[in-house]
Amino acid sequence: MSDVIDVDVDLMAGALILDSVNNREGVPTERFPQPPNLVTGGPGLAVIDAGGRGKVHTRVRIEPFAPPMTNTERAAWEEMQECTFSCEDPEMFLDGSTGEIIAPFTLPVGNYRIRVYVRGRDQWFDCYTAPDEEPRIHLELHIWPEPEM
């Protein structure tokens, strides 16, 4: 059984940041993904290049282990990428580069894998979605503990 968070996030600069509540120093630009990367991870956070600005629908699934990828799931999304990040503070949240704490949740300290799916990014890349409009870009994030080697 996984925990699910469903939320619309207002993005300022096209990036969705998974960050620690106690990290209020901002994210250095070198931590943002560079094309062709969709997501980058590292100590304490993961940064996703959602492509659009304004409202983006985001679903977060926190899983106990790596979820399987079905062909149906692959067909429903434009792109998918995975990376590793570490959770150094259990109080996490989503940030649309506004500094607003959105959808706070808890993860035990440790290393995690994140799989990011995106839909709408190809068509609406670098477009603005007004707050009163329906989101054009949809993200789904699957997060699970990285297996120990």
pLDDT tens-digit map of 51-106: 878 899 999 999 999 999 889 888 999 999 999 999 989 999 999 987 788 999 99
Does the pTM surpass 0.85? The reply is yes
Query: Poorest-confidence range of 22-31, 45-54, 120-129?
Result: 22-31
Token look-up 């990376």 returns: 83
Residue 79: predicted pLDDT: 93
CA distance 134 to 27: 28
- Supply the CATH classification number for the domain 3-145: 2.60.34.30
> By percentage, how much of the chain surpasses pLDDT 70?
95
Mean pLDDT (whole number) for 4-32: 85
Greater model confidence, 13 or 9 = 9
Instruction: List alpha helices for the chain, DSSP H.
Output: 71-76, 121-124
Q: What is the DSSP letter of 107?
A: -
Do residues 137 and 50 lie in contact, with contact meaning Cβ atoms separated by under 8 Å?
Answer: yes
